[in-house]
Structure 1
Amino acid sequence: MFDMSLPWWEFILRGVIVYCALLVLVRISGKRTVGQFTPFDLLVVMLLSESVSNSLSGGDDSVAGGLLIACTLILLNISIAYVTSRSRKIAALIDGECVLLGRDGKVFKDVLKKCRIAEGDVDEALREADVELSDARCIFLEADGTITVLEKKD
């Protein structure tokens, strides 16, 4: 139960490699994948975790190996949070930046396509903000995948 079939350092290396690879893949997949899960997005995340589980453990089923991988992933997450809180450039690279989707009552359809945002998502954000499109000063896709609507002031 506690005997590891691989050297301790291999668990750490596997954790770092898989964490970095998934970070890049999730970042490439777009803001909406991270911000608001549709059933499809949730399925992808669940399958991603299952698909990399053997990559992390290398076939080892020991408690010690699992705990070592868990500690490695948590330390990586803490390290990324620490670095991004101190560097705007790295934060923009890792977390992304907000994108202007519309201004002064007009939605930029080319930007929606580039960000893979459905017009219905913008309509939903307008309803949630209780703002008519004609009264919207700015519509943003935030780095976390949410859509923010700023209303025009009188």
Structure 2
Amino acid sequence: MPDWFEIVLRTLLAVGVLFVMTKVLGKRQVSQLSLFEYITGITIGSLAAYISMDLDTDWYLGLVSLAAWVACSLGIEFLQLKSKKMRDFFDSKGTVLIRDGKVLEENLKKERLTTDELMEQLRKRSAFKVADVEFAIMEPNGEINVLLTRDNQPLTPKHLGIKVAPEKEPQAVIMDGEIMDEALATIGFNRGWLKTELDKIGVTIENVFLGQVDSYGQLYVDLFDDKIMVPVPQEKASLFATLKKCEGDLMLFGLTTKNKAAKEMYEHCSKQMEDIIAQLKPVLKR
């Protein structure tokens, strides 16, 4: 049997053995890597060490083994893309740990997860009581995701029936003391506007390590000299948030009051506030 063919067979055998052993170890061992990604990382490192350090054998055999491994890995990834069954086989399925506020002890034993470890993962997701958790699942990569009960979920504008404008990404307009003209053009500003804003806070472009413009059209800067304190602009954001809070409060008062006249008044005021915000939005929020 040729040496290179024997190396390929030994590599494929190692794939199977490592996969089975990692399956036995369970999801805790992979920690946010899929099973095969975990195996691949270990093996490629070992093969690289073999190629570098083993002087008693032909070095090209290590390259053959590495190439066979990479080909096998690519083949498995292709199968995973094409088939749900293959994804379930190689990466396994998620395991439900908590359902309806009840811990599923058998599934904890299956994943060899202790109660202390479960509580630690829940605390990382701001869930300090199991009763506050509606659903918790251990993903194939070993991460635990949690769905809190409706009573313990954060209140959002959607819960109040309030529609909010989409948040635009901040644009970096200064980097390492250099102006990013493309980013400025994206948000509709120019160098003249930027110079005016820098003059307001008393700094020059050369002293700015990073400058960003948020969705309110306000400039935030970080200077090379960290000892210099720069005021953070909040006027537009604060005013916009206050107006939205007023609109939400008026809407909430209208929904909760039982007095018909008061309900009509609150709804009318809420509509007026909505119109005011719509008119001011181009100025307050870009």
Q: Counterparts in 2 of 1:66-145, with a 5 A limit? A: 66-132=62-128, 133-145=130-142
Of 29, 47, 56, the match for 1:33: 29
- Give the aligned partner of residue 143 of structure 2: 146
Residue 105 of structure 1 deviates from its aligned partner by 2.1
Aligned residue identity for 1:68: V
Query: RMSD value over aligned CA atoms?
Result: 2.6
Distance 1:82 1:110 in 2: 34
After TM superposition, the score normalised by the length of structure 2 is 0.43
Distance 1:126 1:114 in 2: 18
Q: Which one has a larger percent helix, Structure 1 or Structure 2?
A: 1
Of 10, 13, 16, the match for 2:9: 13
Residue 149 of structure 1 deviates from its aligned partner by 1.2
Distance 1:60 1:118 in 2: 46
- Give the aligned partner of residue 39 of structure 1: none
Residues 19 and 60 of structure 1: CA distance in aligned 2, closer, same or farther (over 3 Å): farther
Partner of 1:9, secondary structure, is: helix
Which 5+ residue runs of structure 2 have no aligned equivalent? 33-40, 152-286
After TM superposition, the score normalised by the length of structure 1 is 0.76
Distance 1:75 1:23 in 2: 16
Report percent identity of matched pairs.
29
Residue 13 of structure 1 deviates from its aligned partner by 1.1
Partner of 2:30, secondary structure, is: helix
Contact residue 104 and residue 135 of structure 1 kept, 8 A: no
Residue 60 of structure 1 deviates from its aligned partner by 6.4
Larger RCO: 1 or 2 (CA < 8 Å, sep 6+): 1
Residues 60 and 88 of structure 1: CA distance in aligned 2, closer, same or farther (over 3 Å): farther
Partner of 2:124, secondary structure, is: helix
